[in-house]
Amino acid sequence: MGTVFPPQSIVDIQNRIAAGETTPRQALAESARRIDADDEELRAFVARAPLPADVPVDGPLRGIAVGVKDLFDTFDLPTTYGSPIYRDHQPRADAAIVAQVRGAGGWVAGKTATTEFAAMNPAATRNPHDRLRSPGGSSSGSAAAVAAGFIPVALGTQTAGSIIRPAAYCGIAGLKPSFRLLPTVGVKTFAWSLDTVGLFAPSARDVARFAGILSRRPLDHEAGLDIDRLRLGIYRSGIYDQLDPAMADALRKGARVGEELGWFVRDVEETESLRTGREIQAVIQDYEGAMSLLDERTRHRGEISPALLQALDRGGAIEATRYDEARRSARRARRATAELFDNVDLILAPSASGVAPLLSEGSTGDPAFNRLWTLAGTPCINVPGLRAPNGLPLGLTLVARFGGDRLLLAGAVRFEAGLRRT
């Protein structure tokens, strides 16, 4: 089963440092100790950084160990993008968001496992709740390391569902903020119109604190927001017949929690424009992925997994005219998504079809329930707090209007507290 550690809350660590109950060095040493104790089995990290002799004692992230998905450039650690093609790759500079972490006093504890080029080939990481199950992808290691209590926070990316789904499978908070709220400079590109930097933490409160620090915006404050009378829309997608019974029940519980919070709850039906957007997201992802990885799939075909190579070749066969039509459909879907928020403040949807799949299935799970929100660029968060009858985590997604990250996070903190009371 492996060692079970309690989650590390960034908020609690900051409070204890401020109160003199611990020091930044002690907090970082505890993270290093936990990784040493169990990561040989969990395999969340693919490269580790030594604990520095002089740890930062200033900055909002002092004492905070951060996991960095192996898709982000780091000047002091290898960056392989989950591919043997880059096995010896050592960047000269940090990705912009990694430099922000260090500038705020955070310690990059290591590089966390990713699927191959953040695509489909599973990494070796296991789910902390069941070592025979997937932690999700592509941000496999980041989600697992936070869920295992190794580190309080981690960086990831989402192109289809690679923040929300791993967070759901691992039972933690995963935030995909509004498109381009956090910089993607220095992050290996897969699909330039979809790739989004996201964050992991044990709870909505913790991920809000981390997001506020990195975005330099007051995302962890609800001052001036009316959280008591929100309008919550239950999104009724055309693929809800794919939900496991446990997830369908979780969605019903989520609606009841909204009502118990005093929110106005109503159904929101998927329109034709939204359905088309959900479906054509894969066309855009495949086309742009084939273009972004053109050199790799041309000169290094033998070092790409068969499944990914097939997907890249499929994307390379898409005509530019079809891609352009998909982009026009995406614009219509973004407008239709924006119109949803004329009548609701937040939307509630499943984060995945059910619990984490078994590793033996060779899949990191289906991102079908995440595609529309990534295409639309809207901020969304996996809210933890529910479990299936077998004890595994189930996640629900809250979505807000583009740019509504602060409202989303404030609502998620309140909603998570309600879920944990059920």
pLDDT tens string 354-409: 999 999 999 999 999 999 999 999 999 999 999 999 999 999 999 999 999 999 99
Same-domain pairing of 308 and 179:
no
Measured between alpha carbons, how far is 108 from 35 in angstroms, rounded to an integer? 13
Same-domain pairing of 167 and 55:
yes
392 HSE (CA, 13 A, CB side)? 22
> In total, how many domains does the chain have?
3
Same-domain pairing of 187 and 315:
no
Q: Which of 134, 139, 140, 162 is catalytic?
A: 162
Measured between alpha carbons, how far is 420 from 422 in angstroms, rounded to an integer? 6
266 in a structural domain = yes
Same-domain pairing of 124 and 185:
yes
Same-domain pairing of 124 and 168:
yes
Same-domain pairing of 304 and 402:
no
Q: Is 253 a catalytic residue?
A: no
pLDDT given at position 4: 75
CA angle 278, 283, 287 (to 5 degrees): 145
Measured between alpha carbons, how far is 237 from 125 in angstroms, rounded to an integer? 31
Q: Which residue range(s) make up the domain with 267?
A: 231-271+330-421
Same-domain pairing of 280 and 249:
no
Measured between alpha carbons, how far is 193 from 213 in angstroms, rounded to an integer? 25
Same-domain pairing of 87 and 187:
yes
Same-domain pairing of 345 and 415:
yes
Cβ pair 38, 148 in contact under 8 A: yes
Same-domain pairing of 252 and 237:
yes
The CATH number that applies at residue 348 is: 3.40.190
144 in a structural domain = yes
4 in a structural domain = no
Q: Which of 9, 31, 69, 203 is catalytic?
A: 69
Q: Is 237 a catalytic residue?
A: no
Same-domain pairing of 105 and 78:
yes
Taking only the tens place, the pLDDT of each residue in 249-279 is: 999 999 999 999 999 999 999 999 999 999 9
Name the pTM for this structure: 0.98
Q: Which of 9, 138, 139, 305 is catalytic?
A: 138
Residue 122, helix vs strand vs coil: coil
221 in a structural domain = no
> Sorting pLDDT into bands at 50, 70 and 90, what band is 1?
low
- Measure the N-to-C terminal CA separation of the chain; round to a whole number of Å: 27
Q: Which of 115, 119, 68, 117 is nearest to 94 (CA)?
A: 68
Same-domain pairing of 323 and 348:
no
6, two tokens: 């309690």
pLDDT given at position 422: 87
> What mean pLDDT comes out for the span 102-128?
97
Q: Is 138 a catalytic residue?
A: yes
Residues 6 or more apart from 299 whose CB is under 8 A from it? Answer: none
The length of the chain is: 422
Residue reference for tokens 């969304």: 380
